[in-house]
Amino acid sequence: MKLELQKAKVKNITWGDKTALLADGTLQINKEEFLAAAADTEHFKTLNADLARPGESVRICPVKDAIQPRYKTEGAGQIFPGMLGGVDTVGSGKTFVLEGAAVVTCGRIVGFQEGIVDMSGEGAKYTPFSKTMNAVLVFEPVEGIEPHEYEKACRLAGFRAALYVAEAAWKAGAAVDETKAYELPSFAEAMKAYPELPKVAYIYMLQTQGLLHDTYVYGVDAKKIIPSLIHPNETMDGAIVSGNCVSACDKNSTYVHQNNPVIRSLYERHGKDINFIGVIITNENVTLMDKQRSSSYAVKLASMLGVDGVVISEEGFGNPDADLIMNCRKAEQAGIRTALITDEYAGRDGASQSLADATKEADAVVTAGNANMIVVLPPQEKIIGFTDYTDVIAGGFDGSLRPDGSIEVELQAITGATCELGFNPLSAKTW
């Protein structure tokens, strides 16, 4: 399966009469059409849109999701299969990408685990979305709506808006700056290729801890699946999307799934120092029996592939730490070496136990940072959304929002700050 990403670099963003990528790299968006693409009068009392650029004195809060605008120009299916349109298998052909742009969804809070994006100041250091050109959708729900229905409406509105922007820009003649091809052979061929290199797979843990802690694969709630093989290219076409309200710092936004850096890194090393075999998706369950089933099944698939090692990433913390450690221990006991990617909740002083579970086999671990670290975010001149929830979102506390507009919070409150796929600037070294 081969997929070509046709990347057009976005250097600025503005409203205009026609949605198009201008010759100077400015993404111009027709605001009325953008709002029409996202419109949902059944679930939204109001729907507005705003723009946020890197370096501006702007705060977006509470952030729900971030989505990269993409549009399939050749090949089967369409972006976000199972969410928008059909469920044809994606991951082949050609896909147009607005590199450096994001559609960010924001609005009245769904669950307390939603986040903050500052475009400048101290907070901007910790979120990857302070570096993207953001078209922000701002929602207010109708009265009496159930939280899960509101979350679904916000999620789908973001996908529709992102697809609209990419499709309109492509059809307006956007110039492609770079084409990047991604291709892996069939398993039969892969087993014979690079015999001198270790065979490596990726166990990709998806957040599935319950209502408002959901991830979707081709539109299917991933808590309903058993571990499965997926081609890494499928993720680039939006086959996996976020539908969860876990802590903002380690929530894998849809944008992050589309640009999974673990997959990108494994591709980059393929044929050089590893033989990248493929991706196993698995879930994070809440009962012991379900954890045992999924971990055993995921490791069975890795064993059937005959891999020498696996990279395992998790999403969330606490309860999912048990899944992470169970996957690690069973893989190691099956003779498969493991490397884990997680973040830490080690207390504000960093002195507490970092994970809720541990095993001696977990001897190669990458950290994306300590989510309990305290930061002070300076006031911003412009607020997109609603800051009156700052004291109750995860990472905030009574008094987090100060009278001058500054905010004292844990990193937990900042969107993507400790992303466990490594889509963030934080890590650590052992000296």
List the catalytic residues.
245
* Environment class of 73 (CB within 10 Å of its CB; exposed 0-12, middle 13-18, buried 19+): middle
Locus of tokens 């600037």: 425
Residue count of the chain, please give it.
Answer: 431
Ramachandran angles phi, psi of 174, nearest 5°: -55, 135
Ramachandran angles phi, psi of 236, nearest 5°: -70, -20
Q: Which residues, in sequence order, are bridge partners of residue 182?
A: 3
271 Cβ partners below 8 Å, 6+ apart?
A: 193, 194, 197
DSSP 156-168: HHHHHHHHHHHHH
Amino acid at 123: G
Q: Which of 254, 230, 219 is nearest to 85 (CA)?
A: 219
Does residue 292 sit in helix, strand or coil? Answer: helix
CB 315 within 8 A of CB 420: yes
Q: How many CB atoms lie within 10 A of CB 382?
A: 12
The distance from CA 284 to its chain's CA centroid, rounded to whole angstroms, is 16
Element (H, E) at 69: none
Ramachandran angles phi, psi of 295, nearest 5°: -65, -40
Ramachandran angles phi, psi of 248, nearest 5°: -60, -35
CB 336 within 8 A of CB 309: yes
CA dist., res. 416 & res. 406, Å (int): 20
CA dist., res. 358 & res. 206, Å (int): 20
Strands 309-313 and 199-207: parallel
Amino acid at 250: D
Locus of tokens 């190691």: 332
Does residue 198 sit in helix, strand or coil? Answer: coil
Q: How many CA atoms lie within 13 A of 139 on its CB side?
A: 31
Q: Which residues, in sequence order, are bridge partners of residue 95?
A: 5, 72
